[in-house]
Structure 1
Amino acid sequence: MNWTTAAPAVLENEHVLLQPITEEHRASLHALALDPNIWDYFVSRVDTDEDYTAFFDASLADQEAGRRVVFHITDQHTGRAAGSMSFGNMAEADRRLEIGWSWLGRDFRGQGVNRWAKFLMLQHAFETLQAERVEFKTDILNERARRALRNIGAVEEGTLRSFNYMPGGRRRDAIFYSVLRAEWPSVKEHLLAVPDAAHAATGA
């Protein structure tokens, strides 16, 4: 099985629907993406319509080139577009990939959308792609994202100092988290068992 063809799958449960993005998703994400708070800890910003066009075009290009699998997230309870999340840095020979490039519209934060989207992506990574390691990274200053990662069961591994530039010129310290194949059964059990309200309270 080749990750290039197997990774971009439709993932779905009763809470969320994840579809590899296409041109048809451009309009549904547009209004969500113009919330400036989304981009506080992102490596790029979307402040204008022109920024969004460039951002979406880059997502399509990454997907078409096999650099990422970019998912459009639909909230199943409302039928509305909720945001996006990606597989990236896919090292198939080492059975390792990253889940990241994650953003949600204002109405969908703290509602369980992040938790269920990451659950489906972890499940796909470990049970279909047979990954050995799934990793995450975020800005060390992004306390909300760090809480959410701990809440889904990811293990904090350490900080890479001065990892990259951020908009405005700040050098970001990137903090890494991971879930390993041996840990997935207990992480899965935890995610399926904990009520949505508990995850919402901690940002997931």
Structure 2
Amino acid sequence: MSDTSSLTTPTLSGEIVELRPLRASDANALVEAAADGELWNLKVTVVPGPATVDAYIDKALEGERAGTVMPFVIVQRATGRVIGSTRFWKLDRANRKLEIGHTWLAASMQRSAANTEAKYLLLTYAFDTLNCVRVQFTTDELNEKSRAAILRIGAKQEGIVRHERIMPDGRKRNSVRFSIIDDEWPEVRANLEARLAARIKN
């Protein structure tokens, strides 16, 4: 991973989804996607709603300008519709590592091939283009769906970080940390490719 200050957020294209750079003009599309399930009411993650979307985007773009964040919207290629968001963050060029996080999908797209392919595109870029040695994931200890999804990708659970952050409602959140390291990536990639091939074929 070279100097992150010179990195630009790429567009990553698969068969089902395209991940393109998040922009301020995506506010309405993000709120529409989050309205599928009223995801802004979830207590175990932070998803933008009508009152918070501008601040949500501003923070992501501030991180992008600082070279520590690459924020994306997730677009369903068949319809051109924004169905969620994700990002690289905690970009650390010295130690060639980053975190994939702030990921959410419209309720109707969860547990679908869209999520699997989005993670595949992100991991491929992280390991094969940015030459990362470590990609980590962090989720709420209470978020069983997210924990299961991260394990299905092939990440390894490392432990619980107590009181890792304070949630918007004031709750002191314990977070579960997972990672994939470079030595594990070939096997993880092969498993994800097999899962995607089976889903796309069907």
Structure 1-normalised TM-score?
0.88
Q: 1:1-204 to 2 correspondence within 5 Å?
A: 1-6=2-7, 8-34=9-35, 35-38=37-40, 39-42=42-45, 44=46, 46-47=48-49, 49-195=50-196
Distance 2:125 2:140 in 1: 25
SS across alignment from 2:89 = strand
Distance 1:116 1:182 in 2: 21
The residue type paired with residue 110 of structure 2 is R
Percent identity between the two aligned chains:
34
**Aligned pair in 2 of structure 1 residues 195, 129: CA closer, same or farther (>3 Å)?**
closer
Q: Secondary structure at the match of 1:25?
A: helix
Amino acid across the alignment from 1:146: R
How far apart are residue 110 of structure 1 and its match?
Answer: 1.6
Deviation at 1:70, TM superposition (A): 0.5
Unaligned 5+ runs, structure 1 = 199-204
SS of alignment partner, residue 194 of structure 1: helix
Instruction: Evaluate the alpha carbon distance shift between residue 24 and residue 45 of structure 1 in structure 2; reply closer, same or farther with a 3 A threshold.
Output: closer
Give, in angstroms, the shift of residue 168 of structure 1.
1.9
Name the count of aligned residue pairs: 196
Gaps of 5+ in 2: none
2:181 maps to amino acid: L
Q: State the match for 1:202 in structure 2.
A: none
Using the alignment, how far apart are the partners of 1:131 and 1:91 within structure 2? Answer: 9
Aligned CA RMSD, in angstroms, stands at 1.9
User: Structure 1's 196 and 79: CA in aligned 2 closer, same or farther, altered over 3 A?
Assistant: farther
The code of the aligned residue for 1:27 comes to N
Check 1:37–1:24 CA distance in 2 against 1; reply closer, same or farther (3 A cut). Answer: closer
Q: CA contact under 8 A between 1:16 and 1:75: conserved in structure 2?
A: yes
Q: 1:22: Cα distance to partner?
A: 1.7
Which portions of structure 1, spanning 4 or more consecutive aligned residues, are displaced by more than 6 angstroms?
A: none
Alpha carbons of 1:75 and 1:56: their partners in 2 closer, same or farther (altered >3 Å)?
A: same
The alpha-carbon deviation at position 196 of structure 1 amounts to 7.2
Post-superposition Cα deviations, 1:52-76, rounded to whole Å, max 9, x if no partner, equal 2222222222222323110111112
Residues 53-100 of structure 1: per-residue CA shift (max 9 Å, x gap): 222222222222323110111112332111100000111100111000
Amino acid at match of 2:154: G
Shift in Å, 1:159: 0.6
User: In the alignment, which residue of structure 2 is the partner of 1:201?
Assistant: none
TM-score normalised by length of structure 2? 0.88
